[in-house]
Structure 1
Amino acid sequence: MDQFDVVVIGAGAAGMMCAIEAGKRGRRVLVIDHAAAPGEKIRISGGGRCNFTNLNAAPANFLSANPHFAISALRRYTPRDFVAWVEREGIAYHEKTLGQLFCDGSAKEIIAMLARAMQAAGVTLRLKTTVERVEPEDEGFSLATSGGPVRCASLVVATGGKSIPKMGATGFGYEIARQFGLNLVETRPALVPLTFEVGMLERLKPLAGVSTDAVVACGRARFAEAMLFTHRGLSGPAILQISSYWREGQAITLSMAPGVDIAGALKAARQGRGKQAAITVLSEHLPRRLAQMILEDAAAPANAGDLSDKAIGRIDAAVNAWTVKPVGSEGYRTAEVTLGGVDTNGLDSKTMQAKAAPGLYFIGEVVDVTGWLGGYNFQWAWSSGWVAGQAV
């Protein structure tokens, strides 16, 4: 039977980071993954360019039943630390917006960087290998795998969540947590497009493909980014962000011309450009197809000069206070991450070790720490993997 100091289940961002750090400390490390290549979610991220971190990453950008849990890891391994590594490797990158850092070239450069570091640290990588069973032993764990039995002193679960099942995502990490007596926070798709009922979809069908900047709110959460009408409902960064806060039965409110006094603009046009078409005036602030639908729904007259105060009020509310109730989301199929996971009350925030199961660690997406869209979840992977790598 193969014997290692550390076995990491999952060759994603968190798993590889942990393996590298443990290997640097002289630990004999094995990384196991069912995929044919490491870092598959890294490869497809950021449109193939990997939004590998966010310069603004802080605990406030993460959702968790315990909002304080992520503080230690994020402070000990920061975005600047990862950026410094990227720069040492000569990987060109750029800031796109809101602190989001992307590779100038391919996401494969980040995977290659991690692979080189694992090799340099003496890490063994076994791909196309599944873990069938995990059992506790007196001094560690035994694993039944498709490549044969393995023993280890420390076991790190870096299996990710349920998002993007076509890439092999499963709930296996949650099963291990339950097996060893850890609680779970209810899981659900996050950073995911929202869907509408059939009647609303039929009404909005002409808008599929239309995008605009917006402020989207649900409860106290608000995000100002782009939104996109789809044939299923709404998507785009602002919608993906709010989806982590939205729950079934709740409405969301959208301002699709944020910062623009639509009522004031229409009244000014009525006064000074009365013969101009109302669609021309509204299209100065909105995509034309969206402006057209709003005017039709408001039963507005063709010319700006004929707009009544009531019609202007209806248009203004439709633009900057549109309240709509999604019926669901597109689910794990398109969700970028999984909300919820292993309850952090059962983990040590400084090491990521399970309090009730010495030698067992949970890192990355499998844990109940979920970041905003824009590189935050990768930073959690690097940070949680790094701190576990110092402890295993």
Structure 2
Amino acid sequence: MCAREASARGLAVALLERAPSPGRKLCISGGGKANFTNRRLAAHHYACADPAFCEPALDAFPPQDMERLVHGWGLPVEERAHGQLFLTVPAKRLLDALVQDCRRQGCAIHCRTDVHDVAPLPGGAGFEVGTSQGLWRCRRLVLALGSPAWPQCGATGSGFRLAQALGHRLVEHAPALAPFRMAPGWLDDNLAGISLPVRIGLPQAGLSPALAADPVWQDDLLFTHDGIS
């Protein structure tokens, strides 16, 4: 998305992708139907140390903009519970549309190009990027490497390492959207795979302001073979 927007504004953009093709994680999002945004999305839905952290991004690119973009690509959309927007076709259609749009705007996508290191050039002239396919130089550099949370999709922690090499301070990270694993034999195995709507509440004592403002969630709970998700 960043490469598409920069290209659309007339910048010369090269996207370096370590995998054989870009966007593998997008292909499997939303159960393969691309849960690409949420009509009710707002800053208070983000639980973090600084509740205002995401406000500038949401102000600059609200969910309605993403919805218009997807409609512009001719993709069919449906709304599900809690304002979630999904495709009615495979998520790969969304990936293909994004890649085609990127290239149409002039972005060059280089796959199988693993970034090893980055360093600023003297005098603020830009950056030098060392990769498996040789050296690159650029005036501006964007690190968009995700997190190591899903290594099966090719995710690594290289983004943290590269950011540190440029002098950035890392906020300690922790798992999110993680399941609860229970002790063996805690429940009848026949329940695995069954889901049901639930309301879950947390005591407010000790919670961050973002969580304390909305301590009850209502959604689907899934019994798994080793706990709940």
Q: TM-score, normalised by structure 1?
A: 0.53
Q: How big is the shift at 1:202?
A: 1.0
Q: How big is the shift at 1:205?
A: 3.4
Q: How big is the shift at 1:218?
A: 2.9
- 1:100 corresponding residue in structure 2: 84
**Higher-Rg member (1/2):** 1
Q: Find the aligned partners of 1:228 and 1:215 in 2 and give their Cα distance.
A: 13
Secondary structure (helix, strand or coil) at the match of 1:190 reads coil
Which residue of 164, 170, 177 maps to 1:184? 170
- 2:208 corresponding residue in structure 1: none
Which residue of 171, 189, 203 maps to 2:186? 203
- 1:136 corresponding residue in structure 2: 120
The Cα offsets for residues 310-366 of structure 1, whole Å up to 9 and x where unpaired, read as xxxxxxxxxxxxxxxxxxxxxxxxxxxxxxxxxxxxxxxxxxxxxxxxxxxxxxxxx
Q: How big is the shift at 1:172?
A: 0.9
Report the AA paired with residue 120 of structure 1: R
Is the CA contact 1:45–1:51 (under 8 Å) kept in the aligned structure 2?
yes
- 1:276 corresponding residue in structure 2: none
Alpha carbons of structure 1 residues 18 and 107: separation in structure 2 relative to 1, 3 Å = same
Q: Find the aligned partners of 1:69 and 1:211 in 2 and give their Cα distance.
A: 33
- 1:158 corresponding residue in structure 2: 144
Secondary structure (helix, strand or coil) at the match of 1:185 reads coil
- 1:174 corresponding residue in structure 2: 160
Q: Find the aligned partners of 1:63 and 1:140 in 2 and give their Cα distance.
A: 35
Number of residues of Structure 1 aligned to a counterpart in Structure 2: 216
Q: Find the aligned partners of 1:120 and 1:203 in 2 and give their Cα distance.
A: 54
Runs (4 or more) in structure 1 with deviation over 3 Å come to none
Matched, 1:228 2:222: yes
Q: Find the aligned partners of 1:23 and 1:159 in 2 and give their Cα distance.
A: 19
Which residue of 13, 19, 31 maps to 1:35? 19
Secondary structure (helix, strand or coil) at the match of 2:68 reads helix
Is the CA contact 1:205–1:231 (under 8 Å) kept in the aligned structure 2?
no
Secondary structure (helix, strand or coil) at the match of 2:2 reads helix
Secondary structure (helix, strand or coil) at the match of 1:189 reads coil
- Superposed CA RMSD in Å reads 1.3
Which gives a bigger RCO, structure 1 or 2 (Cα 8 Å, sep 6+)?
Answer: 1
Q: How big is the shift at 1:118?
A: 0.8
Q: TM-score, normalised by structure 2?
A: 0.90
Matched, 1:47 2:41: no
Q: Find the aligned partners of 1:137 and 1:121 in 2 and give their Cα distance.
A: 28
Q: Find the aligned partners of 2:133 and 2:36 in 1 and give their Cα distance.
A: 32
Any gaps of 5 or more consecutive residues in structure 2? Answer: 205-214
Report the AA paired with residue 231 of structure 1: H
- 2:3 corresponding residue in structure 1: 19
Alignment of 1:106-125 (within 5 A): 106-125=90-109
Is the CA contact 2:197–2:220 (under 8 Å) kept in the aligned structure 1?
yes
Q: Find the aligned partners of 1:203 and 1:19 in 2 and give their Cα distance.
A: 48
- 2:65 corresponding residue in structure 1: 81
Q: Find the aligned partners of 1:185 and 1:32 in 2 and give their Cα distance.
A: 25
Q: How big is the shift at 1:39?
A: 1.0
Q: Percent identity?
A: 38
Secondary structure (helix, strand or coil) at the match of 1:46 reads helix
Q: Find the aligned partners of 1:157 and 1:196 in 2 and give their Cα distance.
A: 37
Secondary structure (helix, strand or coil) at the match of 1:192 reads coil
Report the AA paired with residue 54 of structure 2: A
Secondary structure (helix, strand or coil) at the match of 2:93 reads helix
Secondary structure (helix, strand or coil) at the match of 2:81 reads coil
Is the CA contact 2:119–2:166 (under 8 Å) kept in the aligned structure 1?
no
Q: How big is the shift at 1:65?
A: 2.2
Structure with higher helix content: 1
Q: Find the aligned partners of 1:204 and 1:196 in 2 and give their Cα distance.
A: 9
Alignment of 1:1-392 (within 5 A): 17-138=1-122, 139-197=125-183, 201-206=184-189, 207-220=191-204, 221-235=215-229
